[in-house]
Amino acid sequence: MKKLSLEKLKLAAEDVLQRSQMGIIYGGSGGCNYRSCHCTGSVGSWTGYYCSDQEVGDAVAAYCASGNGACTPN
């Protein structure tokens, strides 16, 4: 496989992603992670991929009959 030369692409500086931005796109450092979740006051457990506390709360409300539960990062 040939290596790609960025100079030959003639990209403007604003078109090139920085290393920190690459992690977000690839999924390495955007604050999202897998979480182990369980319901309290009702039966249920699952693993989900969430990027915010709001998403976690929405999932608990949707998956737990009691509306209560918790998730911990894996």
Q: Rounded distance, CA 7 to CA 11, Å?
A: 8
Label residues 11-28 b or e (16+ Cβ within 10 Å = b).
eeeeeeeeeeeeeeeeee
How many domains are contained in the chain? Answer: 1
**Could you tell me if residue 48 is inside a domain?**
yes
**Could you tell me if residue 35 is inside a domain?**
yes
pLDDT value at residue 30: 62
Q: Rounded distance, CA 22 to CA 40, Å?
A: 38
**Could you tell me if residue 15 is inside a domain?**
no
pLDDT value at residue 54: 94
pLDDT tens sequence across 7-50: 777 777 777 777 666 655 554 546 789 999 999 999 999 999 99
Note whether 56 and 46 are within 8 A (CB): no
**Could you tell me if residue 1 is inside a domain?**
no
Within a 13 Å sphere around the CA of 72, how many CA atoms are in the beta-carbon half?
Answer: 3
The letter for the amino acid at 41 is G
pLDDT value at residue 14: 75
**Could you tell me if residue 26 is inside a domain?**
no
**Could you tell me if residue 57 is inside a domain?**
yes
**Could you tell me if residue 68 is inside a domain?**
yes
pLDDT value at residue 47: 95
**Could you tell me if residue 13 is inside a domain?**
no
Domain extent for 58: 31-74
pLDDT tens sequence across 49-68: 999 999 999 999 999 999 99
